[in-house]
Structure 1
Amino acid sequence: MELPVDRPNRSFPRLIQNEATTEIPLHLLFRDEPGPSRPDHDPSPAALGPPVVGSGRGTGERPRFRRRVPAPARPAPEAEPGLAERPARVLPGAVGVLAGVCGAAGCVLTTWWAGVLPPLAARALPLPAGAGAGLGLPQWAAYAGAGALGLLGFGGLTRGRAGRAWVLGLFGRYRGTVRRTGLLWINPFVPRRGVDVRLRHWRSGPMPSADADGIALRVAVLVVWRVRDTARAVLGVDDHEAYLRACVEAALARVTVRGAGGARGGAEAAGEALTRLVAREAEPVGLEVFSVRPARVEYAPEVAGAMHRRGVAALDARDRAGALTSVVDSVEDTVTRLTMRGLVDLDDGERKVLVRDLTVAFCAGRRETIP
């Protein structure tokens, strides 16, 4: 029987009407993709970011996503952008003294010119007889000019001291800082604020904190600091001392402090961590922090009694363990020496009785020696 052979040009009906065939690039089949075993692999599109290549219909290519890169840590904000200390323009004090003397001399000469100089002053001063012009408009103008010069000269005199600085401002603008010492002349119409720039220390009161076990503590810290940038310290914050106290309190909440009976190494590590945190927070406002050290650490009043009893019990247990070890060593040494020298020949029962008697005797003698 001859089987029917399909003709080459015979056409079959399509099962899928909208069928499309495309070529798949070979390199797309062997792309390296992160496996699910990697701990940093997150297959969610939100974690991978926006797609680089969108999915193409019929191409067989999956969308590729750009992995999000974490943004770098932002530095601490400055008190005010562009605000920094700069020297102010001042004059030596001799200039102010000279201007004041000239103003006073001008007032005296105007009085002589008007002819109203007292006779006693006229005889004391080497001046010729007064012109007697009287007090007119020119005389009053001369009085005003000489008086203004004298007031401006003597009114701007100030004394600069070591460890003190003046922050000058005019119409709400920062005009500079004066750190010079000696007699100076500063414009008397410019408002000024004094700042202590010496090395200072501040001992805080008891501040709340906690140890590694979460037990409440009260910590008093000693802070050594100074004002490095007067412009930022005075104009950047309302009160730089209050700001420093707030920084210390915030650092204590983040640093673990050893308890009242902690080791010295733990206190040093806590001090270094506090110094690093407070110095970083105080730098934007012009404060330089050298050290922040716990000066006194004690338990909070609500747990102080319980922690005291716990410490006494631990100390008593340690003493008892040390006393027991000493007694056992003494008994063992005594029994060993008696046996090795042949002074006694004991069986197991007699050895146990001797050990018991020696232990009782040594314990009783140790209790009598301890007050």
Structure 2
Amino acid sequence: MHTPTDSTPGREPGPRPAPGALPEPAAARRVAVIKGETTSEIPVHLLFRDDTGAGPVVPQPAPKPAAPPARRRARPVAAPARPAVPADPELAERAGPVLPGAVAVLAGLAVLAGCAAVVWSAGLLPAEPARALRLPVRPYAGMGAVRWGLLALGTLALVGCFGGLARGRVGYAWVLSLFGEYRGSVRRTGLVWMSPLLLRRRVDVRLRHWRSEPMPAVDADGTALRAVVLVVWRVKDTARAALAVEDHVVYLREQVEAAMARVLSQLPADAFHDDAPTLRDAEAVGDALTRLLRAEAEAVGIEVYAVQPTRIEYAPEVAAAMRRRRVAALDARHRDAVLSSVVDAVDDTVGRLTARGLVELDDYERRVLVKDLTVAFYTGRGGAEGV
């Protein structure tokens, strides 16, 4: 005996409802789930199966991303362990020989007065200056070897007293050396006296900052980068800064470039498809640069307070390609988030309708409901976010 089947267009052939069940018009089964909602078809055939023997279609959460490679799971950027530049233990700052300038001035005036007395005793002082100074006029008696010797000693003393005067300024220091040997450093301000025989080198000990030019580097993927850093530093040991290296400023700049190349090569500039550590963490990169540069600069008497990257960007030759890759990664992440929220919303809606007994659905009706809800929610979400 032939069993009649339901051949409603758009529906698979299947058995008719059992006897005694209320017949349901075909048109009623095709009414849109959300009235007044105009939806458009999207390629969602991958979410549904047409096999009538399959169980209820339950929306599944989005699959978890694959585990990142071992290189991406590296610890946050840190200064590589490497022996620092050794410092000369015998070369350290110490106080140099210095006297207050007022003492030297008084001594020079006394020597000048002694020289004038020698000249007056030899009768070389003219009558008019002598009367002005209320001194008796003495006839010329000749200089003699003794007077010449006293004048020579007085001249040398005057050169020593007034030639050693210097003005100390705030934020500067002198490094003193004699015949190539370090004699000490002077950090005093105001009028001071130092031996004229000592060689003086002025060193700036103020807190200084240096902003680098864009320097080339590469990340862990070998992508060319351009980085700009800001270094805050000062001279802590004037002896090492002046004598341990030819130019401590040039040394510091070269060490900044070397440290930046070592630190930036540990991590990629961007992680497009996972949440691995990247060079966009400016605080971690700055801390690693500071630790590394501080250890390298200690040997030349420089104290580094902070090294912060102000800009890390791709080199011009790869900037356009990396920008497109970043936009594509952001778009894929956005689509994945939207799809996950839509699937969760559909799951919650179907679960509430069936749990409260508002509808009784068979397998086919559940698939149709899930499909219509997914299309409606996805279209509505996309339109709202597009606005």
Is structure 2 residue 258 aligned with structure 1 residue 250? yes
* Matched residue SS, 1:237: coil
Task: Provide, for residues 255-281 of structure 1, a one-character-per-residue CA deviation record: whole Å limited to 9, x for no partner.
Answer: 225526765895444444433433333
Within-5 A mapping of 1:135-146:
136=143, 144-146=152-154
331, 334, 341: which one pairs with 1:316? 331
Count the aligned residue pairs.
296
The whole-number CA distance in structure 2 between the counterparts of 1:137 and 1:258 is 87
- Matching residue of 1:101: 109
207, 221, 226: which one pairs with 1:218? 226
The whole-number CA distance in structure 2 between the counterparts of 1:331 and 1:319 is 18
Question: 1:96 offset after TM fit, Å?
Answer: 0.8
The whole-number CA distance in structure 1 between the counterparts of 2:223 and 2:283 is 20
Within-5 A mapping of 1:286-365:
286-365=301-380
Question: 1:233 offset after TM fit, Å?
Answer: 1.8
* Counterparts in 2 of 1:142 and 1:199: CA distance versus 1, 3 Å: same
Q: Which runs of 5+ in 2 are unaligned?
A: 1-81, 272-276
* Counterparts in 2 of 1:163 and 1:260: CA distance versus 1, 3 Å: farther
- Matching residue of 2:13: none
The whole-number CA distance in structure 2 between the counterparts of 1:118 and 1:345 is 136
- Matching residue of 1:259: 269
* Counterparts in 2 of 1:367 and 1:281: CA distance versus 1, 3 Å: closer
Question: 1:178 offset after TM fit, Å?
Answer: 1.5
AA matched with 2:186: V
* Matched residue SS, 2:221: coil
AA matched with 2:343: V
Question: 1:75 offset after TM fit, Å?
Answer: 7.5
* Matched residue SS, 1:251: helix
CA-atom RMSD, angstroms? 3.2
The whole-number CA distance in structure 1 between the counterparts of 2:284 and 2:268 is 10
Question: 1:307 offset after TM fit, Å?
Answer: 1.4
* Counterparts in 2 of 1:366 and 1:302: CA distance versus 1, 3 Å: same
The whole-number CA distance in structure 2 between the counterparts of 1:124 and 1:363 is 111
| Larger RCO (alpha carbons 8 Å, 6+ apart) | 2
The whole-number CA distance in structure 2 between the counterparts of 1:323 and 1:156 is 80
The whole-number CA distance in structure 2 between the counterparts of 1:75 and 1:357 is 67
AA matched with 2:295: R
- Matching residue of 1:195: 203
* Counterparts in 2 of 1:78 and 1:339: CA distance versus 1, 3 Å: closer
Q: Which runs of 5+ in 1 are unaligned?
A: 1-72
- Matching residue of 1:130: 137
The whole-number CA distance in structure 2 between the counterparts of 1:150 and 1:130 is 26
155, 158, 162: which one pairs with 2:163? 155
Task: Provide, for residues 240-293 of structure 1, a one-character-per-residue CA deviation record: whole Å limited to 9, x for no partner.
Answer: 111122222222232225526765895444444433433333333333334433
* Matched residue SS, 2:97: coil
AA matched with 1:236: A
In the superposition, the TM-score normalised over structure 1's length comes to: 0.68
In the superposition, the TM-score normalised over structure 2's length comes to: 0.65
